[in-house]
Structures are given as structure tokens and as C-alpha cells.
Structure 1
Amino acid sequence: MKIAIITPAPVGSRAGNRATAERWSHLLEQAGHQVLILTEYSSQPADLFIALHAWRSSDAVVRIRDDHPDTPLMVVLTGTDIYDHQYRYPEQTFNSMALADCLIGLHHRVVRDIPERFATKLVTVLQSAEQPEDRAIVDNRKFGICVIGHLRDEKDPLRAALAARRLPETSAIHIINAGRAHSPEWENSALAEQAANPRFQWLGEVDKPTIQQLMQRSRAMVISSIMEGGANVVSEACRAGLPVIASDISGNVGLLGDDYPGYFSVGDDTDLARVLQWAEQFPEFLEELADRVAKLASNFTPEAEQAALLAAMDRAVAERARLSREA
């Protein structure tokens, strides 16, 4: 099939949705399909369309359905779609969901977080990560905790730094954040925190090898987001065997499981400090987290993601064929 993937993120962007589009392009090409990634839809024909973002791609979704009424269309629900845009922009977001033949959710709890009328369209596709080299702690003098993600409101990126301020003086925990500031205000906040907090370092935006090295050197990763559609960095941590300490939002629980022991209350640096202290002081707790992410790792292989994506495509093709017969 000739497949067009529409994403608002341009070439060269390190945004998560650009990475998803490029990874899916590779997986689909491996399966024998032809794939074109578009940042703007301009009436190009295809055998199947995949639109990332229900709201941001809402105009493209309407035009695709008008231009190609018999072509299967899949819409990927991002975190902002599910936890923000469906409330702020319900008309456009729900219209995209209604026009789609198949909806893709990136974690197992999406079905709970969208209107029930769209549940039958939903297919879960967990984002994959490659198997990295074995982790090796290179500096035992510090208990390194990484935070990987761009600095923007949805990520609550300084929560771990604020939690580190609450730790006892004897703690060796050091927070290292890698991610680009999305605004001058966030840049100023990160620089101010770094200047005032000896336990915090902000690296800014770095390349993939540097991220991998940071994960290899860290004892655990904190994902403190207030909303997530299914963060790929969680997949990467699981594949790396890196313990995850996560905010208890739906997007994290939908990847790590209801009974995962490493959650803290979202937005609560006191509770996060408690979990960080447990990780540092009780090796058996950190070992339990490492064991849990290792058991989850098989959910996030490229083979599993490719199979789920191909199944979603089959669902979209079958649904469009059914609707065309009934028209």
C-alpha cells in the first residue's frame, strides 16, 4: 500500500510525534509498504492515511475525507488530544475521531479517557524502543536520576529538581534533565533552578547518543508529566532496564500497569521526594522497579509495535470497506 502519514512536526524536529512518524514509516516500509511523511496535506492520493493529532490535524482529516471518501483513515490520539484538546476544542477533536475509520491510542487506558461512543474504533499501539547496550553505573559517588523530556507545561519538568531540595543533606541524589526549553520562561526557570539547586543540572537539548549515555549512567528515571499520551521515553527505559519513577497519571499507568510500585502523586514534590529517598535508601525497592520494567520490556519491541500497527491498518481497511458497501 501507499501510505501517507500526516504530522505537524517538521523534518529535523525532535518532537515525539515526529519520531513516531519516522519510526512508523520505517516499520511499515519493512512490511513492504510505501510511506510518505507530510507536514501538510495537499490532496495527495494514498491507499491509507494516518493523521497524528486529532485536533492539530483536524483540517487535514476533513479534507482527506472530502477528497478520498473511500480511502481508509486512521487518527492517532496524542496526550494533548485526550487530556486537553477534547475539552478545549471538542468540536474539531471529536469530528476527527468521528471521521476516522480507526483510532490509535498509545497506552492501555486511552479507552477510559475518551467518549464511550469512540471505544469500538480504538486500537492500542505501544511505542517501541531499540534494545540498548547494558547499563553501567560509572560514578558511584552520585545517585544519578535522569529526567528526559522537553521543558513545557505538560511535562512538569522541574518537579524532580524541586523534590531533590527536600532530601536530607546526606543524600547523594543528583537530578539531570535533558530537554529543550519550549519558551524563554522555561529556559529562565531551568537556569535559575540550576543556579540555586546544587542537586540539579540542566543539559538542554542533546542528541540521541547522549540521551542513551545518560540513561546508562542513571540509577532511575523520573517522568513527572501531568499529561501523556504514552511517552516513548517510558518504552526506552523499560527496554534499558532502567527503573522508572512516574507520576500517577493515566498515560503512565497505561504503560506500567495498575500495580506498578514506583508511582508518586502528580505535581507533588513531597511525595516524589519520598519515592526518591526509598530508591536511594532501600536497594530492594530499586531492584523491584528494575525487575518490573524488565518484565514489561517485551511490550515495547519494534516487532510488537509493527504487529499492532499492521492490525490497526487491517481494522481501518475493513471498516472503510464496510462503510463503502453500506453507502
Structure 2
Amino acid sequence: MADPPPAHSLRLQKFLHAGPARHLGRLSNLRLGIVKVFIVTPENPGGTSGNSITATRWAGILRALGHEVALGTEWQDQKCNLLVALHARRSYSSIDRFRTAYADHAVIVALTGTDLYHDLQVSHEARRSLVLATRIIALQNLAGAELDANDRDKLRIVYQSAKPPGQTERPRDDCFEVSVLAHLRDVKDPLRAASASTALPSQSRIAIHHAGKAMDPKWKALAVEESRINPRYHWLGEQTHEQAIRLLARSRLTVLSSLMEGGSSTIAEAVVCGVPILCSKISGNAGMLGPDYPGFFPVEGTAELTALLRRAESDANFLLTLRSAMEVFRSRFTPEREAESWMKLLQELA
């Protein structure tokens, strides 16, 4: 007799779309219950940016739920009955044209960190995208504080899921490896861990290994120079997603120092890999880990991050405390939870 499918597969199967068309009947142009979805992402699908990774993962989830999905950097009259747009401001032209062409079709707008904590305050296009949206997605539970009452009524939280790497490595014995997974751009404050490491005592074995693409020549020059003058810091450049997750999974600690986040995939990945994380205390991070997470440090808080790095290296109980504080959120970031969130959202639109 064949072995029964694993429990997680059974949990996912119950969310797969297998019912008649009436379940999603108010999304027009259905064919045998299949929704044609077009996902707009500002960056090219298949890249290593957060938006690209999210769009690709959502496409996989929606296909697993039985629907047809296409992706692109803008909507150009592709036939679909549901538009999913990442980034309210940068995807505004697609949202506006789609809504003009199909007034009765559904539009889901997914909010990024720059949407929530900058663009909605200054950009008419970002705000207009939310007016045009049928539903709004955020990736963490404090996002609603940035929206007005009408937009909050449309808001649904879809936590990003993550999985450990297919191949894992043992933590390195020759150093206390601290990973940083962040592309080099201003909003990520990407060299904060490197700066904090310069004040560590000489006996410290901490080494900062940073995976991320330099988004402009300025940041490339800064990372190269920091690698030259700081023996604790090693910039690895752009890595594939699998390479980056393997780095994270073998690390003893990871650092996320962003100035703003809509909902960091690094947090989800650290939680499911069981790797303690130190991160800036911003709404996007607190919305994923809770406001009392013990691994927070102030934005641009170099001295505070140095102190936390020293404590993490020298105090095994502190690492256990961080892991325990993260573990309670593990179920929040499972593929089954994310698939369920999408299924419920589609059912609402029906």
C-alpha cells in the first residue's frame, strides 16, 4: 500500500479550487471555475528583488489553486478577469487602465513598504490606486494604521510564506557567522551591520556575510570599500534566492536594518529556518514579529546593534530567547497559511 500523503499536503489540498464555477461566479469571464489572473510587478518577474520573489510565489499559489496566471511589469490589455498589482504608486498606470477598460472586474492592490510609509503620504497616484482597488493586501498586521477608514475596510493581511532550503549546511566553526540579506539601496540601510561590527572587541569571532545586489554605483563602491577596510565584513554580491536562503539557514544570526519595510521576506525566512534575527524597530517588522520582540534595535542604531551582536555571540540564552520569540509565529509564515489566505480572498470576491 502506498504511503499516505504528508499532513501539510492534505492541508493544502483542501484549499485547491475544485468546485463549480458558481464559487467565483461574480468574477466575470470564468471558464469552468478558472480565474484568469494577471500580476503586475514593477521589477521583472523571476528576479531577486522582494517584489519579484513575491509575485512569482503568488503566481505559483494561484496556479496551485487551479487558476491561470500571467505576470508582467505592466498590464497591456492582456485578457484576464482579476488584476493583482504590487506597488500602489508604481503600478498605478496599469491599475487605472484596467479599471477603465473593465469597470466590473476585480483589482487587488498589494502594498509595499514605500507605499505604506512614504508614497501614500505624498503621491496622488498611490492614493488613487487604493480608491480603484476592490481589495488591498498588506503583508503585516500594523499596515492598517497607515490607511483611512474606507481603505481599511478593503484591507486583508496575507503573510508571506517561506520554506527552508532544499540543502542545508552546518554552521561554520571558524567564525560566528552573521548574515545580511538585503539589496544595497538607501531604504535598506544595508551597511548598518558592517558599521556595528567595527566596534566589537578584538576577541569577537563575528563575521558579517552580506548577500545583495548593489542597486547603483554609489552603493557598489561603498560595499567594496567596506569589504576592503573592515575585516569582519564580506560583501558577496547578488545571489540567487536559493543561495541566499542557504546562507541564512547556516548563519548563527541574521540582521535586518531597513528604514522601512512593507513586510520583510527575510523575517519569514529566518522564522522558518529557526535563525535568530536582529532587526530595526519599524512598523513593518513589528507587524510580523510583534511589538515586544527582544531582538529590535532603533533605526540607524549602530551602538545598540553592536551591543546586541556582542550579546548574541556571548550569551547562548539570549539566542534561545530570540528563537523562542520567533517560534510562536512559525505557523504564520507557512505555505498552507498563505494559500488559505488567497483562497479566502478569492471567495470574498465571489
The TM-score with structure 2 as length reference comes to 0.87
Q: 1:102 aligns with which of 135, 154, 161?
A: 135
- Partner residue, 1:202: 235
- Partner residue, 2:23: none
Q: Distance in 2 between matches of 1:11 and 1:74?
A: 18
Counterpart mapping for 1:64-103 below 5 A: 64-89=98-123, 91-103=124-136
- Partner residue, 1:291: 324
Across the two proteins, how many residue pairs are aligned to each other?
A: 316
- Partner residue, 1:254: 287
Are 1:135 and 1:240, in contact at CA under 8 Å, matched by a contact in 2?
no
- Per-residue CA distance 1:247-293 (angstroms, 9 max, x = gap): 00011111111121110001111111111111111110001111222
Are 1:137 and 1:219, in contact at CA under 8 Å, matched by a contact in 2?
no
- Partner residue, 2:43: 9
Are 2:45 and 2:55, in contact at CA under 8 Å, matched by a contact in 1?
no
Using the TM superposition, name which of 220-229 and 137-146 deviates more: 137-146
- Once superposed, what is the RMSD of the aligned Cα atoms? 1.4
Change (3 A) 1:193 1:251: same
- Per-residue CA distance 1:77-114 (angstroms, 9 max, x = gap): 1111111211231x111100011010000111101122
Using the TM superposition, name which of 65-74 and 140-149 deviates more: 140-149
- How far does residue 134 in structure 1 lie from its aligned partner after superposition? 8.5
- Per-residue CA distance 1:203-255 (angstroms, 9 max, x = gap): 00012332132123211110000000001111111110010101000111111
- Partner residue, 1:171: 204
Are 1:6 and 1:39, in contact at CA under 8 Å, matched by a contact in 2?
yes
Q: Does 1:60 align with 2:94?
A: yes
The TM-score with structure 1 as length reference comes to 0.93
Q: Does 1:50 align with 2:84?
A: yes
- Per-residue CA distance 1:45-69 (angstroms, 9 max, x = gap): 3121111110001111111111000
Q: Distance in 2 between matches of 1:31 and 1:197?
A: 48
Q: Distance in 1 between matches of 2:246 and 2:135?
A: 37
Are 1:132 and 1:239, in contact at CA under 8 Å, matched by a contact in 2?
no
Match of 1:44, as an amino acid?
Answer: Q
Q: 2:299 aligns with which of 250, 266, 270?
A: 266
Q: 2:215 aligns with which of 182, 189, 199?
A: 182
Q: Percent identity?
A: 39
Are 2:249 and 2:270, in contact at CA under 8 Å, matched by a contact in 1?
no
Are 1:159 and 1:269, in contact at CA under 8 Å, matched by a contact in 2?
yes
Using the TM superposition, name which of 154-163 and 292-301 deviates more: 292-301
Q: Distance in 2 between matches of 1:142 and 1:95?
A: 50
Are 1:130 and 1:236, in contact at CA under 8 Å, matched by a contact in 2?
yes
Are 2:83 and 2:108, in contact at CA under 8 Å, matched by a contact in 1?
yes
Change (3 A) 1:217 1:231: same
Using the TM superposition, name which of 123-132 and 237-246 deviates more: 123-132
Q: Distance in 2 between matches of 1:156 and 1:117?
A: 33
Match of 2:222, as an amino acid?
Answer: S
- How far does residue 40 in structure 1 lie from its aligned partner after superposition? 1.8
Q: Distance in 1 between matches of 2:296 and 2:84?
A: 33
- Partner residue, 1:228: 261
Provide the secondary structure at the position in 2 that maps to 1:70: coil
Change (3 A) 1:3 1:209: closer
Q: 1:277 aligns with which of 303, 307, 310?
A: 310
Are 1:82 and 1:229, in contact at CA under 8 Å, matched by a contact in 2?
yes
- Partner residue, 1:324: none
